[in-house]
Amino acid sequence: MTIFKFALLRNLRSPVSYLAGLMVPVVLIFSMTSVWTNAPVMGMANLVMLMLLSSNLLVALVLEDRIDGSIMKIMISPVSMVHYVFQNLLAAIIPFVIQIALLGIMGYLHYNWAIQFTIGAVVALFICGVTTAAFSFCWNMFFKSKSSSRYAFLFVMALILLLSGVLVPIEALPGLLQHAGAILHPYWFIRAVITLAEYGMTAQFWLYNTIVLLIGTGFLLLGGKAN
Q: Which of 189, 193, 226, 195 is nearest to 211 (CA)?
A: 189
Whole-prediction pTM: 0.90
The predicted pLDDT at position 100 comes to 96
Domain span at residue 71 reads: 3-226
C-beta separation of 20 from 50 below 8 A: yes
pLDDT of residue 149: 82
Say how many residues make up the chain: 227
For 175-201, what is each residue's pLDDT tens digit? Answer: 778 888 899 999 999 999 999 999 999
Residue type, 140: N
- The candidate with the shortest Cα–Cα distance to 18, out of 52, 55, 65, is 55
Q: How many domains would you assign to the chain?
A: 1
Q: How far is CA 100 from CA 22, 26, 46, 106, in A?
A: 10, 9, 13, 10
Query: 151-169: string of b/e by CB count within 10 Å (b at 16+)?
Result: eebeeebeebbbbbbbeee
